[in-house]
Structure 1
Amino acid sequence: MTDNITIPEALQHHVTTYLNHLMIERGLSDNTLAAYRRDLQRYLRYLAQERVDDVTTITAHHLAGFLQALSSGSHNMGNLAQSSVNRVFIAARGWHRFMFLENTTSTNPAAEIKPPKTGQQLPEGLSIDEITRLLDTPPIDTAQGLRDRAMMELLYATGARITEAIDLDVDDIVHLDDDDTTVVRLFGKGSKERIVPLGSYAQRAVDAYLVRGRPKHAAGGKGSPALFLNRFGGRLSRQTGWNVLKQAAEDAEITAEISPHTLRHSFATHLLQGGADVRVVQELLGHASVTTTQIYTQVTADTLREVFAYAHPRAQG
């Protein structure tokens, strides 16, 4: 994508106003806001190439052209997957809706335009055997190994997003005296809090890290309240957390593609395979709508169909 395009200040101002709305009124996370900003900058570059410098002159024709450019890669839009095309277009559509509702424009040019439907992308998780190998990889005789194992055990035990885990403070691990249960206070999108129980494996890993690992990392810092610390005593970064997972997968000889969301996907899939109710999994994952969670039921349904096809004596013939 070329950088030799001057974006009109008026258009940039309206996008900044919208991003401020998303941050203040809707409480979106920094990562989500950054994604909106990138997507809307792509739209502004397209409009600049079309010599549009006034938001009130944008028409449905411009939106349709932008969607076509995203899909074809013209106008230096890059070679995007269809899911990315939809995401960028939805950001532009939300911006237009906001400006219409705020009376900045008298019409909403995006009202009747919808991105093309795509096939449902099923999340990929690891098998229970792969999860076990992965979680057993970090050594427990070093502060870093104790931290890495505790972090991965917590990710799989709670279904937390990597950012949610990195943002945890020590005080967010709560021991309930009445029934000897440990829970985690997670803060998801929009700073929405949810309480998730911590299983015994993860609890032991976190306790071991707090007793024998974290104090060694904390000694080099300035008293950070963060649960997971780097070797300088500061809060662990999201990128370092991702690298920990990637290295553990390599050490465990796991060939499947792995990302920070892999343990979250595995958490949801294994719960549903074990008989958990989809609405319980929805609460644990922090999904606003059960529809989002139901994608995992498709994963387990596919597994059931496969097992049936091979195992039932009259499934084929």
Structure 2
Amino acid sequence: MISIPRAKEGHFLPVIFNREEIHCMIHALSNQKHRLLLATAYGAGLRVSEVLSLRIRDIDFVDGTIHIKQAKGNRDRLTVFPYAVFDEMQKYLAGKTADSFVFGSERGGRLTARTAQKILQQAMGKAGIEKKATFHSLRHSFATHLLENGTDIRYVQELLGHANIRTTQRYTQMTNPALKNIKSPL
């Protein structure tokens, strides 16, 4: 058998929304479910598959946590529930059963990742944001903003569910104040 080495994947910096862009996107949407979908994905640092698989029973409103079950790598984890949407989320979920998807489709199933991406693109358009972003950019923004706020990288690693700290360290280059303060000699 011949062993052929795999080519290394390219390294690209993630697209990050600033806090103002996040605020504008969420508030640009009139649909409550769409607003809460983006706010929860960003505010808890969730992957698109995680936010779409979220069931009401996975949210602990008392402790302010979200239990992510069998995420990437088949590992469970806890992350933060964004208290900024606490009241609106409780009103939105009123009358639904604990087994219901938080962001279910009209027929009771899950929304698709494609639908979530369309919701993000709609929010970006209404907010006048012209970045080449994906739904995952919300998760990148969550991590970057926590690090900018001084949150220890090990806590960010836990919240994101990264098995390896090096994965989380990719975000540190986006938040390094020393790099931002360097001026070109030209």
Given the superposition, is the C-alpha separation of residues 192 and 305 from structure 1 closer, same or farther in structure 2, using an over 3 Å criterion?
same
**Pair 1:172 & 2:58 matched:** yes
Spell out the pairing of 1:1-317 with structure 2 (5 A cutoff). 59-60=1-2, 110=3, 113-117=4-8, 119-139=10-30, 145-176=31-62, 181-187=63-69, 188-211=71-94, 225-301=100-176, 304-306=178-180, 308-309=181-182
Q: Whole-Å Cα distance in 2 between the matches of residues 258 and 208 of structure 1?
A: 30
Note the aligned Cα RMSD (angstroms).
2.3
Distance 1:116 1:173, change over 3 A: same
1:175, distance to aligned residue in structure 2 (A): 2.3
- Aligned mates of 1:118, 1:224 — CA distance in 2: 39
Q: Percent identity?
A: 33
TM-score (norm 2): 0.88
Q: Which structure exhibits the higher relative contact order, with contacts defined as CA atoms closer than 8 Å and separated by 6 or more residues?
A: 2
> Which structure has the greater CA radius of gyration?
1
- Report the TM-score, using the length of structure 1 for normalisation: 0.54
Find the aligned partners of 1:241 and 1:305 in 2 and give their Cα distance: 34
Equivalenced residue count is: 185
Report Cα offsets for 1:95-144 as digits up to 9, x if no partner: xxxxxxxxxxxxxxx3xx433445532211111111110111122xxxxx
Task: Check conservation: 2:57, 2:99, Cα contact below 8 A.
Answer: no
Cα 1:298–1:114 shift into 2, 3 Å? farther
Q: Output the CA distance in 2 between the equivalents of 1:224 and 1:276.
A: 33
> CA separation in 2, counterparts of 1:296 and 1:202?
25
The C-alpha deviation readout for 1:215-272, integer Å capped at 9, x for no partner, is: 5xx7xxxx96211122233322222122111111111111011211010000011111
Q: SS of 2:77's equivalent? A: strand
Structure 1 or 2: more helix by fraction? 1
SS at match of 1:191: coil
